[in-house]
Amino acid sequence: MRYSKPHLPYDQQVRLLASRGLDVGSEREAVRALKRIGYYRGVSDGLCKPY
């Protein structure tokens, strides 16, 4: 199975979240959190605050 979207490095994932309007705070801290808990859990559990 081929995926249409490539895996993004953590720093690019943080930028993607920020470009979608999420307040990620410190980029360095957001990257550390993504490494620890993952993208989907981080978004759903409030790693990033909307607005």
pLDDT in tens, 1-51: 788 888 899 999 999 888 988 888 899 998 998 888 887 777 766 655 554
Q: Please give the tally of structural domains in the chain.
A: 1
37 within a domain of the structure (yes/no): yes
Whether 17 contacts 43, CB under 8 Å: yes
In 3D space, the residue among 13, 15, 16 whose CA is nearest the CA of residue 38 turns out to be: 13
Establish if 38 belongs to a structural domain: yes
31 belongs to a structural domain:
yes
Q: Is residue 3 part of a domain?
A: no
Domain residue limits at 25: 10-50
Alpha helices in the chain (DSSP H): 10-19, 27-37, 39-44
Supply the pTM of this predicted model: 0.70
Residue 20 falls inside a structural domain? yes
- 25 near 1, Cβ under 8 Å? no
In a domain, residue 2? The reply is: no
Q: Is 18 among the domain residues? A: yes
